[in-house]
Amino acid sequence: MDKTLFSDGLNGLDTKNKDAVTLYNEISLLAMKCAGDISETKGRRNAYYLSMEFLIGRSFYNNLMELGVLEETDKFLSGKGLDIRMFEEIEDAALGNGGLGRLAACFLDSAAGLGLPLHGYGIRYKYGLFKQAFKNGFQEELPDDWQRFGDPWSIRREDEKRLIEFADMKVYAVPYDMPVFGKRINRLRLFQAEGDGEAQKISEYLYPADDTKEGKILRLRQEYFFSAAALGELTEHFFKQYGKRFEKFPEYNVIQLNDTHPVICTAEFIRLLTVKYKFSFSSALDIAKRTFNYTNHTILPEALECWDEEYMRAVLPEIADIIIRISVYADREFQSLGCDKEQAKEMAIYKGGKFYMANLAVYIAGKVNGVAELHTEILKNDLFKTVNRFYPEKLQNKTNGITHRRWLELCNKELSELLDRTLNNNWRGDISRLNELNGFNGETADAFIEVKQTKKRQLLNYIKDREGVEIPENFLVFAQVKRLHEYKRQLMTAFAVLEVYYGVKSGKYHDLPPCAFIFGAKSAPSYRRAKTIIKFINEIAAKINSDVQCAERLKVVFVQNYNVSYAEKIVAGTDVSLQVSTAGLEASGTGNMKFMMNGAVTCGTMDGANIEIVERAGKENNYIFGATVEELARLKAEGYSPSEYLDNPERCKAVESLIDGTFSDGGTGNFKELYESLINEDNYFVLYDLESYVKTIIQVCTDCKDKKTFAAKQLANVANSAFFSSDRTIKQYAQDIWKI
């Protein structure tokens, strides 16, 4: 970064009569000009991260921070009577859905921060994840045209575009490079599809509806499109430097497949080596096995992709043939290892006219990893147990992380400054030194109380402006923010809030301190039950917030359009982080880590990374409740009967409110459907865990009355959060898997 050039440019900037968008573009382009080029990657080993999603969020503030000119820009603007927050509404690249996409963005940030050569490949969607608004409490989806004010942080590389061929169409993949700033400048390369109308559709939407054949094929095209473009260029670059010695390709390139979406490129790689560079199939397969690694993100069956041969053949016949050939090699290998028929079938890549992409990934990948200890154990003992038996070296754990630059330094300047004052060390440069905060004294706890209050005030003001819901700042703030999914159990929180509400009204909880529940979540457009839960919570919020009897006691708000920027405010201003997934189903979670690092206690189940959070910060400083994986397994074996657990009047009333006319679902019948699914199945054990959940919430409320002791719990979470920096995660990937 040429800081002098930047300062000169900034000071020469004429801000008069310019709107926010113009200034945003001018300052961003100036920073891009002064930042320098993407770091040289030739002649050494590089790692590549292939991901269908990169949930980047705002680039402006983060990039200026990484480049070391955020403060200067802030000062410059205030000198002109302007507020740097004027750019907040301009951009928020949501090229992802949730945790998986945000993880990809955090990983790139950490690698650049650590000076490691890790580059991203993905899709430059024209429209990111939809913008959410509520109308009568129902979710509405609006297109997210994230480039409408320009895209100064990307550079189009027209000269490097490449043709991607399907059986029925050809399309150009045009690269756009987004530099990732840190100790070095890495590259996030996103491909845009260009060609005639049909071709362009490939990069139009993130996750187009795939409930039709056309939808499924479009999705398949997307996956092939970006991953084939990536492999096309990596092999070509290698060939230019080293000629045909592709057996050395894995010495210079290592590729990480983020979930099953890019797995199709393993077959593309073999196609390139055999067709273009004339390798034999078996040596191409061998080289592939030394190049790729795979990260599994979920054990939910709907996310383990499997493609109908018919669809694949319609658009990618050569790839279909190659996967079948890989499958033949795999079967032979399984037999030679002594697998029986059942075991071979379990691991089969091609069976019943379908391609099993997770099995393909696991077979080809040198290393397969889960994203938290419990999740990896479940992979080893359950989903991939046969793999683990015959390939015991393959499966490993890499617990997720979050970049502390965005999720602490940027989103919580006040806490960062407190850490600067208290720690007297370079924790920003080496986050592991945050551990030295353990043993903090009363003075630090007092200062922390003040910081938390400031962040809470900022958050509640923002919510008042955006949502029109006023929450007094003496309220204890609980938050559950994450994608809407039944397994994440926002519905259980909704019932818990109702139980508390009825208890407050009946006098059962007469001395409960005032508390607020913040929800934030988008539902997939076609996920009926998830949308019903949003409506239900909005109904609850309207009822409670308009009850004058409770005005000083309880507030509920479902914020609209939860995204990275909203998250930055919520994690900093929250007291209690709600992480209440059904045990065994949240692979890791990363929201839990963001809250922890900002000093919220976790109220959650023994699931995903929650387990590792409380292991480090102490169970006594967090609130764990609910059934464990083992308990649920026992319960399932014995036969679970949900209605048995409706044995208390408040709980009954809360659950029955779905059908007794308390709330309206607008005549859709959706509340009744939801109710029946609970009473008859309750696949996610909402009713089973509800009792202990409410008890735990009441316990948190009771404990928070002792401000100092409660702040000490929160601070203990900050002090032990260094492990959850993605710097740690990336170092582990770099050492154990990538060898960079």
Ligand X SMILES: *Cc1c(COP(=O)(O)O)cnc(C)c1O
**Residue matched to tokens 């609209």:** 560
- Using CA atoms, how far apart are residues 131 and 461, in angstroms rounded to an integer? 22
CB 475 within 8 A of CB 516: yes
- Using CA atoms, how far apart are residues 76 and 13, in angstroms rounded to an integer? 10
Beta strand pairing status for 350-351 and 354-356? antiparallel
User: Nearer to ligand X by C-beta: 153 or 562?
Assistant: 562
Nearest residue to ligand X, by Cβ distance, number only: 591
User: Nearer to ligand X by C-beta: 331 or 727?
Assistant: 727
CB 718 within 8 A of CB 725: no
- Using CA atoms, how far apart are residues 587 and 51, in angstroms rounded to an integer? 18
With CB under 6 A as the contact rule, the residue among 182, 591, 599, 642 that binds ligand X is: 591
CB 151 within 8 A of CB 58: no
User: Taking CB under 6 A as the rule, which mask of x and - marks residues 414-453 in contact with ligand X?
Assistant: ----------------------------------------
Q: Enter the tokens of residue 199.
A: 């071709």
Q: How far is the CB of 481 from ligand X (least distance, A)?
A: 7
With CB under 6 A as the contact rule, the residue among 70, 77, 98, 154 that binds ligand X is: 98
Q: How far is the CB of 580 from ligand X (least distance, A)?
A: 10
CB 152 within 8 A of CB 164: no
Q: Please confirm, yes or no, whether 237 is among the known catalytic residues.
A: no
- Using CA atoms, how far apart are residues 722 and 279, in angstroms rounded to an integer? 46
Q: How far is the CB of 417 from ligand X (least distance, A)?
A: 23
Q: Please confirm, yes or no, whether 594 is among the known catalytic residues.
A: yes
Residue 490's Cβ-count burial label (10 Å; 0-12, 13-18, 19+) is: buried
- Using CA atoms, how far apart are residues 204 and 144, in angstroms rounded to an integer? 11
**Residue matched to tokens 């004339």:** 278
Q: How many CB atoms lie within 10 A of CB 75?
A: 11
Q: Enter the tokens of residue 70.
A: 């955020």
CB 608 within 8 A of CB 99: no
Q: How far is the CB of 543 from ligand X (least distance, A)?
A: 26
Q: Check 184, 404, 488, 553 and give the catalytic one.
A: 488
How many residues sit close enough to ligand X to count as binding (CB under 6 A)?
A: 12
User: Nearer to ligand X by C-beta: 128 or 591?
Assistant: 591
CB 222 within 8 A of CB 265: no
Residues 484-543 that bind ligand X (CB under 6 A): none
What single-letter amino acid sits at 246?
A: F
Q: Choose the stretch contacting ligand X; rule: CB under 6 A; options: 79-87, 95-103, 276-284, 436-444.
A: 95-103
Q: Please confirm, yes or no, whether 483 is among the known catalytic residues.
A: yes
Q: Check 298, 444, 493, 590 and give the catalytic one.
A: 590
Tell me if 370 contacts ligand X by CB under 6 A.
no
Residues 594-623 that bind ligand X (CB under 6 A): 594
User: Nearer to ligand X by C-beta: 394 or 594?
Assistant: 594
Q: How far is the CB of 591 from ligand X (least distance, A)?
A: 2
Q: How many CB atoms lie within 10 A of CB 26?
A: 17
User: Taking CB under 6 A as the rule, which mask of x and - marks residues 556-585 in contact with ligand X?
Assistant: -------xx--x------------------
Q: How far is the CB of 99 from ligand X (least distance, A)?
A: 4
Q: Check 380, 594, 653, 713 and give the catalytic one.
A: 594
Q: How far is the CB of 487 from ligand X (least distance, A)?
A: 10
Q: Choose the stretch contacting ligand X; rule: CB under 6 A; options: 18-26, 303-311, 589-597, 666-674.
A: 589-597
CB 48 within 8 A of CB 119: yes
**Residue matched to tokens 């308990």:** 631
Q: How many CB atoms lie within 10 A of CB 565?
A: 18
Q: Check 483, 485, 489, 531 and give the catalytic one.
A: 483
With CB under 6 A as the contact rule, the residue among 73, 493, 538, 590 that binds ligand X is: 590
- Residue in 67, 148, 65, 678 with CA at minimum distance from that of residue 409: 65
Query: For residue 135, what are the β-bridge partners?
Result: 138
Helix (H) or strand (E) segment spanning residue 317? helix 317-336
Q: How far is the CB of 482 from ligand X (least distance, A)?
A: 3
Tell me if 482 contacts ligand X by CB under 6 A.
yes
With CB under 6 A as the contact rule, the residue among 182, 589, 599, 626 that binds ligand X is: 589
- Using CA atoms, how far apart are residues 693 and 697, in angstroms rounded to an integer? 6
User: Taking CB under 6 A as the rule, which mask of x and - marks residues 102-141 in contact with ligand X?
Assistant: x---------------------------------------
User: Nearer to ligand X by C-beta: 293 or 590?
Assistant: 590
With CB under 6 A as the contact rule, the residue among 54, 62, 92, 99 that binds ligand X is: 99
Residues in Cβ contact with 44 at an 8 Å cutoff, skipping those fewer than 6 apart: 117, 252
Q: Check 124, 219, 261, 297 and give the catalytic one.
A: 297
Q: How far is the CB of 570 from ligand X (least distance, A)?
A: 9
Q: How far is the CB of 576 from ligand X (least distance, A)?
A: 14
Q: How many CB atoms lie within 10 A of CB 280?
A: 10
- Residue in 139, 122, 191 with CA at minimum distance from that of residue 559: 139
Q: Check 131, 184, 189, 482 and give the catalytic one.
A: 482
Query: For residue 486, what are the β-bridge partners?
Result: none
User: Nearer to ligand X by C-beta: 102 or 201?
Assistant: 102
Q: Choose the stretch contacting ligand X; rule: CB under 6 A; options: 14-22, 96-104, 203-211, 428-436.
A: 96-104
Which parts of this chain interact with ligand X (CB under 6 A)? Answer: 98-99, 102, 482-483, 563-564, 567, 589-591, 594
Q: So which residues are the catalytic ones?
A: 297, 482-483, 488, 590, 594
